Amino acid sequence: MLDPAQNDTFTDHYLGVPFDLSEVLFIATANFIQNIPGPLLDRMEVVEFSGYTEREKLAIAQRYLVPRQLKENGLKTEQIDISDAAISEVITGYTRESGVRQLERELGKLGRKVARKIAAREVDQVDVDADKVHELLGRPKVHPERANREDQVGIATGMYYTPMGGDIMFVEVSTMKGKGDLVLTGQLGDVMKESARAAWSYARSHAESLGIPVECFDRDLHVHVPAGAIPKDGPSAGVAMATAMVSALSGRKSRHELSMTGEITLSGRVLPIGGVKEKVLGAVRAGITEVLLPKANEADLDDLPQEVRDTLKVHFAEDLGDALALTLRGATYREGRLTFEAPLEDGTYTSIEAPRADGTYTSIPH
């Protein structure tokens, strides 16, 4: 049907009548392109529409959704005043979507609650602010992740994408007595497990340059991604996996205000990923102020709204060593070695190189 060389003689199997479809344009929609069969996708032209930002959803609600719901629920503008803060609270606390369908349903529910109060003559007019939303709609239905408040050892902040938008996730790593086994939990898919194994192999093969004592690899390493009831998969958590592992093994803290994404290889290359806009917007919504992206994704920043780019510091990396220098607190990567700043008694800092094979250190004034 979609082959232009044959679509002028398509015969319907029900009527048995030939149809000329050469001038017909078929339009189909889908939320997840991976579920479209390959032979069908190969015959289609794909046009991608990204989800709305929170600022865009707020503008749509102000201009269209709120006036329409007031009319459908028999309310006059002088009877209800919905503040911008109230709409934003509905967006973040009661909806999780790339569009605005659920947002309109929740605004309609809010309008009906107010209409009932007015019809029962309990009130004549209602001013709806963020606190009033909780009273009218009940407790929030969505609980997005929030950025950590402090640096921690063995915990890195990653980013992920779903058809409903982007968000952050935490990769937690801890070591324990054992035989050097790698334990993976959190309902991880095969590709995500491969990313964890690649990060583990990189850490072991670059232990000296990363400042990781060799005896650490005789201990078991447990990698966990919270929200265990939700399946997770994809290669883009590689940098976060590597950061959390190196942080746990070396005892160095990971930066809490920075989130990261990127696929990694055994040689330490950082490869590009998809869904940059949604991931970054989700990170900003969670309170992240800096993000780390693969160098090959630099052009994708053009998709971000200007107001987001103005408030966000973006780093790029092609090599995992450079990425770790950004994601670990006080780290610097030079000449193939990861060095860390150490405080001296007089309050100044000395950059201490990673331990050498004989266990000694070399200090260089910083």
Residue-by-residue DSSP string for 328-362? BTTEEEETTEEEEEEE-TTS-EEEEPPP-TTS---
| Whether residue 22 lies in the annotated active site | no
Q: Which long-range contacts (CB under 8 A, 24 or more apart) does 104-111 make?
A: 104/65, 104/68, 104/69, 106/137, 107/61, 107/65, 107/66, 107/69, 107/82, 108/69, 108/72, 108/73, 109/136, 109/137, 110/69, 110/82, 110/136, 110/137, 111/69, 111/70, 111/72, 111/73, 111/75, 111/80
Q: In this structure, which amino acid lies at residue 45?
A: E
Rg (CA), the chain: 26
Residues pairing with 350 in the sheet: 342, 365
Q: Give the separation between CA 203 and CA 131, rounded to whole angstroms.
A: 48
Q: Quick check: is 279 catalytic?
A: yes
**Amino acid letter at 192?**
M
- Tell me the C-alpha distance between 216 and 227, whole Å: 28
Catalytic member of 236, 247, 250, 254 = 236
Whether residue 258 contacts residue 291, with contact meaning beta carbons closer than 8 Å, is answered with yes
Report, as residue numbers or ranges, the catalytic residues.
Answer: 236, 279
